[in-house]
């Protein structure tokens, strides 16, 4: 019962509360919330172009959310998704620009792998610090977000040769052989930027589902997350498993960055802030309670909200309201005790003086 | 440039860059000493900066020179209200501290820019007219050599902020309130058994962090950015968190680390004017605070990873 409550009622009620409070805010500033939401839906799902863009928005969210979930299964918080995705973006574009002339069959997978590997390595760092020095992965990943942000600007300005660049702050467009875009997806969705990255994201939903549910590594990851001490005494190598989970987590974030680079933008341009897909991905994973299917649905929902932002703008409402709604939804997911308190008829009796992590 | 004017420039800009970090880092210390992890400092600073700038723009004509000071307090109060979200979520509703802190960080910039657009019909505010500037500290600036470097054309607020860090140290380590605050962060169950109201102490810790973070954001907006936009607060909250850890959850330590981080930031800001660091790639100075924090955590902190019950929820037995 409790599990069902966590997985279905809490997310659904959180979304409803988020949308209602959002409506209240819109009404308070003197606009019609129903018109706002209508215009939002129209902007994200109104025609094939906007549906394509919404699926495109969902792509990196699915991948970063899967990354967050894998780390979370082993009991870690990977807050560094945005830095890792940024590194994946830089890595994939770097590969694509250096090996410009290669045929598509090598260049595209190579660029994607470059992005994934760069981030798997980066993801390993907080994992290693955690298992050998017991350093809080929350803090190391937050710090690494900023390190990677500044380093990416440094690489763009000072390391890449002039021949890569178009102006001072962005690279030139990658060759067609490194692009994730395909004609059929573009044509199918009326010229949107939807690309093969979306199919990759779908494949990885299945892969991660299989990993967690049917493989030894997945079993070990889950066991450590549930009880590290029991896992240790049953012979699971904590160090190896935690580091592997962080590598997978980072690699998924890197893939998210690579789909942004090779699919959506086709180049790299310097970022002034941490990438939004990092924290949004974390939000998606939390709303989807970490399950791959939940993540898929949540990512679609958030993509509808995010892509609907311009619609809000058309209705005269500042589009930032969409992110406010997302934050409120995650507040309720986090504070699920509130929802449980109201829908559980007889609250479970608490263990005396229990300290709950 | 001669050596004195270089030092004057570096010292004053270090102080100006550090002061908001010091305030926020002290706030974080109060929260985490009470056992509530606060990764939402960044969001709290955003709200402080936003409220201070809006107040400053609206009331600069009325209050004149006093405006930045009043706006500072307004920012602090806004910070208290905003941190209430974190307090209710983590203490009363037993939410995970990291998730709740992230909610603050997601919510603050969107909400602030949303309100800026509602109020001003554009994405960023105008520049404020009354800001914290540079001034000489009377008498002390007459000390030969040192006076010119440390006390002329400098930031008075920064010296007040440094003084506050000593006050915070006394509160945390030498008062009854501080002892109780630390006890609920180390072992809430034992503290509860002794009759200490764990929830009250933890609420105090988080709300003080809201006050200090709000002040920090308000100070940053009124001394460095001068207006409010989505990129006004970009990482300062996390840097303050780093300073808190680097300072081992001690207000004076936090102040010293924040000064050091401010020094790194000021070198990257004024470095182009100083010949011998002109050629150092700016990226080294930019990443220094974050790299150092990781190294300190790994190498020097060892077993001490902050208050023992930090990050755990306390559920009172019935």
Q: How far is CA B229 from its chain centroid?
A: 18
Task: Give the number of A-B residue pairs with CB atoms closer than 8 Å.
Answer: 152
Report pTM: 0.91
Residues in chain A within 8 Å Cβ distance of B316: 353
Contact assignment for B313 to A320 by CB distance below 8 Å:
no
Residues in chain A within 8 Å Cβ distance of B317: 350, 352-354
Residue of B nearest to A159 (CA): B281
pLDDT tens across B182-239, in order? 999 999 999 999 999 999 999 999 999 999 999 999 999 999 989 999 889 988 999 8
Q: What is the CA radius of gyration of chain A?
A: 21
Establish if A124 touches chain B: CB-CB under 8 angstroms.
no
pLDDT tens across A153-185, in order? 999 999 999 989 988 899 999 988 899 998 888
Contact assignment for A328 to B39 by CB distance below 8 Å:
no
pLDDT exceeds cutoff 70 at A3: no
Establish if A135 touches chain B: CB-CB under 8 angstroms.
yes
Distance between CA A283 and CA A295 in Å, rounded? 10
pLDDT exceeds cutoff 60 at A85: yes
Return the exposure string of A315-328: e unless at least 16 CB atoms fall within 10 Å of the residue's CB, then b.
bebbbbbbbbbbbb
Q: Which of residues 183-202 of B touch A (CB under 8 A)?
A: 188-189, 192
Contact assignment for B305 to A134 by CB distance below 8 Å:
yes
Q: Tokens in use for B292?
A: 């150092």
CA dist A322 → A93, A286, B98 (Å) = 30, 17, 22
Measure A188 CA to nearest chain B CA, in Å: 33
The set of residues, in sequence order, having a beta carbon less than 8 Å from that of A326 and lying 6+ positions away, is A18, A280, A283, A302, A305, B106
For testing contact with chain B, the best of A327, A341, A352 (most B CBs within 10 A):
A327
Contact assignment for B99 to A334 by CB distance below 8 Å:
yes
Distance between CA A307 and CA A8 in Å, rounded? 25
Higher pLDDT among residues A64 and B148, named by residue = A64
Contact assignment for A333 to B241 by CB distance below 8 Å:
no
pLDDT exceeds cutoff 60 at B16: yes
Contact assignment for B305 to A355 by CB distance below 8 Å:
no
pLDDT tens across B52-90, in order? 999 999 998 889 889 999 999 999 999 999 999 999 999
CATH 1.10.3470 applies to domain B3-300: yes
Measure A157 CA to nearest chain B CA, in Å: 10
Which of A282, A324, A352 is closest, CB to CB, to B114?
A324
In chain B, where the domains are located: 3-300
For testing contact with chain B, the best of A331, A342, A348, A356 (most B CBs within 10 A):
A331
Residues in chain A within 8 Å Cβ distance of B242: 139, 143
Q: How far is CA A275 from its chain centroid?
A: 10
Contact assignment for B281 to A158 by CB distance below 8 Å:
yes
Mean pLDDT value across residues A225-247: 93
Mean pLDDT value across residues A32-59: 93
C-beta separation of B245 from B77 below 8 A: no
């Amino acid at each position: 019962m409790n599990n069902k409550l966590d997985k279905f009622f809490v997310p659904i009620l959180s979304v409803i509360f988020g949308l209602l409070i959002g409506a209240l805010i819109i009404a308070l500033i003197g606009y019609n919330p129903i018109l706002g939401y209508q215009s939002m839906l129209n902007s994200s799902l109104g025609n094939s172009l906007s549906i394509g863009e919404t699926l495109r928005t969902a792509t990196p969210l699915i991948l970063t959310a899967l990354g967050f979930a894998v780390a979370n299964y082993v009991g870690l918080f990977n807050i560094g998704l945005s830095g890792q995705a940024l590194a994946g973006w830089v890595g994939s574009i770097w590969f694509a620009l250096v090996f410009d002339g290669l045929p598509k069959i090598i260049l595209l997978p190579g660029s994607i792998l470059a992005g994934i590997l760069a981030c798997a390595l980066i993801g390993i760092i907080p994992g290693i610090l955690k298992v050998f020095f017991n350093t809080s992965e929350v803090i190391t990943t937050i710090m690494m977000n900023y390190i990677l942000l500044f380093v990416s600007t440094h690489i763009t300005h000072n390391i890449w040769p002039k021949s890569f660049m178009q102006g001072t702050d962005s690279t030139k467009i990658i060759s067609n052989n490194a692009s994730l875009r395909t004609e059929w997806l573009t044509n199918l969705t009326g010229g949107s930027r939807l690309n093969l990255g979306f199919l990759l994201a779908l494949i990885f939903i299945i892969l991660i589902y299989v990993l967690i549910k049917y493989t030894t590594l997945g079993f070990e990851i889950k066991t450590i997350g549930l009880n590290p001490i029991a896992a240790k005494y049953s012979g699971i190598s904590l160090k190896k498993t935690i580091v592997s989970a962080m590598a997978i987590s980072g690699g998924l974030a890197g893939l998210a960055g690579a789909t942004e680079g090779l699919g959506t933008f086709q180049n790299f341009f310097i970022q002034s802030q941490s990438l939004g897909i990092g924290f949004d991905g974390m939000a998606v994973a939390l709303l989807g309670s970490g399950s791959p299917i939940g993540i898929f649905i949540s990512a679609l929902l958030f993509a509808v909200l995010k892509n609907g932002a311009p619609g809000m703008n058309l209705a005269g409402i500042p589009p930032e309201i969409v992110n406010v709604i997302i934050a409120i939804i995650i507040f309720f997911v986090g504070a699920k005790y509130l929802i449980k308190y109201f829908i559980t008829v007889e609250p479970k009796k608490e263990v005396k003086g229990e300290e709950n992590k | 440039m001669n050596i004195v004017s270089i030092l004057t420039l570096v010292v004053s800009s270090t102080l100006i860059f550090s002061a908001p970090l010091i305030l926020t880092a002290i706030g974080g210390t109060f929260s985490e000493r009470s056992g509530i992890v606060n990764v939402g400092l960044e969001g709290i600073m955003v709200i402080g900066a936003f409220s201070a700038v809006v107040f400053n723009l609206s009331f600069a004509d009325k209050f004149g020179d006093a405006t930045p000071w009043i706006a500072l307090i307004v920012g602090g109060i806004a910070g208290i209200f905003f941190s209430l979200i974190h307090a209710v979520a983590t203490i009363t509703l037993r939410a995970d501290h990291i998730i709740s802190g992230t909610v603050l960080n997601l919510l603050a910039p969107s909400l602030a820019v949303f309100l800026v657009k509602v109020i001003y019909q554009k994405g960023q505010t105008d520049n404020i007219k009354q800001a914290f500037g540079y001034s000489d500290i009377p008498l002390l600036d007459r000390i030969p050599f040192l006076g010119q470097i440390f006390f002329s054309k400098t930031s008075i607020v920064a010296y007040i902020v440094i003084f506050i860090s000593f006050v915070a140290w006394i509160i945390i380590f030498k008062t009854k309130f501080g002892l109780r605050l630390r006890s609920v962060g180390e072992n809430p169950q034992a503290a509860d058994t002794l009759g200490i109201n764990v929830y009250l102490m933890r609420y105090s810790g988080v709300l003080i962090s809201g006050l200090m973070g709000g002040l920090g954001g308000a100070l940053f907006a009124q001394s460095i950015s001068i207006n409010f936009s989505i990129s006004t607060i970009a990482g300062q909250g996390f840097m303050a968190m780093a300073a808190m850890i680097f300072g081992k959850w001690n207000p004076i330590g936090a102040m010293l680390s924040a000064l050091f981080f401010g020094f790194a930031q000021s070198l990257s800001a004024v470095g182009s004017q100083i010949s011998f660091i002109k050629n150092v790639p700016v990226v080294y100075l930019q990443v220094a605070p974050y790299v150092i924090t990781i190294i300190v955590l790994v190498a020097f902190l060892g077993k001490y990873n902050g208050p023992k019950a930090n990050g755990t929820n306390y559920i009172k037995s019935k």
